[in-house]
Copies of this chain bind each other. A is one copy, B any other.
Amino acid sequence: MIVADQVADVRRAIRDARYRNLPIGCVPTMGALHAGHASLIEAARCECRFVVVTIFVNPTQFGPQEDFTRYPRPLENDLALCRQAGVDLVFVPSLESLYPTDFGTFVEIEPLSRVLEGAFRPGHFRGVATIVLKLLNIVQPDVAYFGRKDFQQQLVVRKMCREFDLPVEIRTCPTVREPDGLALSSRNRFLEGADRQNALVLSQALFLAERRLKAGEHDVRAVCAQMTQHMESAGAAVDYAAVADPETLIELAAPIPDMIALVAAHVGPTRLIDNLPIALEHRP
């Protein structure tokens, strides 16, 4: 496994892989890898003979009050996981190599980046889209892999790649959950004491919405209110609980055949997000 911290070294390795006609897969991450990331790497290995993982905690996607400095950076563990998973190249760039001092070029994605997560984290998706574009331009993969856990992120990335005509395919892989339902997240390691148990209210709220909607509930706003209520009952501070169109993220008032339920809440000091696709069966 190659570990590179320079753009030029990545380009050289990629040129070599291209020369050997190896399909290239890329899994962009912020490190602190867990079984969710491992499932992305596995998906990449199934399709691509050369698998790149990028590890970079991207400052431009964090707000000034957010957890950039305390975001976990367990690099040795991450490299061990990558090695075990059969990754070919890990790119661990320095901050300076990706963001020189006078950096000022950003991707803006309207209106998708303004709603839900974007409304609570202004500038977040601008930062996400910008770093993903940079990494895709450096690695130039045939396929890039993202988790459905960050549902809005993969929508933003898909829209960017489509509208900027990037020659890459985006795959979205299912959320990996703990046995009790908690969606895997690098931030779960911040959940201390009762917070770990209380964090279950996010996935519980989503499963509750799924049950209600599949049982024929027509008042989507009432379902969202129930999700909020459930999360607040355990002391979570809710940012949003929504049921939306999975393409546009426009919030729904009435059910449609394919929906996505999304929640964000603070559990103790830790902000968590989760989502669940909800498909109604056709009832003739």
**Residues of chain A having any CB pair with chain B under 8 Å:** 7, 11, 98, 100, 103-112, 129-130, 133-134, 137-138, 140, 159-160, 163-167
By a CB distance below 8 angstroms, the chain B residues around A138 are: 165
Copies of this chain present in the complex amount to: 2
List residues of chain B with CB within 8 A of the CB of A166: 137
- Whether B167 and A137, one on each chain, are in contact in the complex, defined by CB atoms closer than 8 angstroms, is yes
Q: Which 9 A-B pairs have the closest CB atoms?
A: A105-B163, A104-B110, A137-B165, A134-B165, A138-B165, A106-B108, A105-B109, A105-B160, A137-B166
Q: In the bound complex, how far is the Cα of B137 from the Cα of A137, in angstroms?
A: 10
Q: Taking chain A's interface residues, is the majority helix, strand, or loop, or is none over half, making it mixed?
A: mixed
B108 touching A167, Cβ below 8 Å: no
Q: How far is the CB of A95 from chain B (nearest CB, A)?
A: 14
Contact B11 A105 (CB under 8 A): no
Within the complex, the shortest CB–CB distance from A42 to chain B, in Å, comes to 27
CA distance A105 to B129 in the complex (A): 10
* A-B CB contact pairs (8 Å), 17 listed: A98-B165, A100-B163, A104-B163, A105-B107, A105-B108, A105-B110, A105-B159, A105-B160, A105-B163, A105-B164, A106-B107, A106-B108, A106-B109, A108-B108, A130-B164, A138-B165, A140-B167
Q: Complex formed: what's the CA distance from A11 to B167 in Å? A: 9
Q: Which of B105, B108, B130, B164 is A134 in contact with, Cβ under 8 Å?
A: B164
CB distance from A91 to the nearest CB of B (A): 12
- Flag if B165 contacts A7 (CB, 8 Å): yes
- Which of A103, A104, A165 has the most CB atoms of chain B within a 10 A radius of its CB? A165
> Chain B CB within 10 Å — which of A7, A104, A105, A138 has the most?
A105
Tell me which residues across on chain B come within 8 A of A104, comparing CB atoms. Answer: 109-112, 159, 163
For A129, the chain B residues whose CB sits under 8 A away are 105
Bound-complex Cα distance A7 to B163 (A): 12
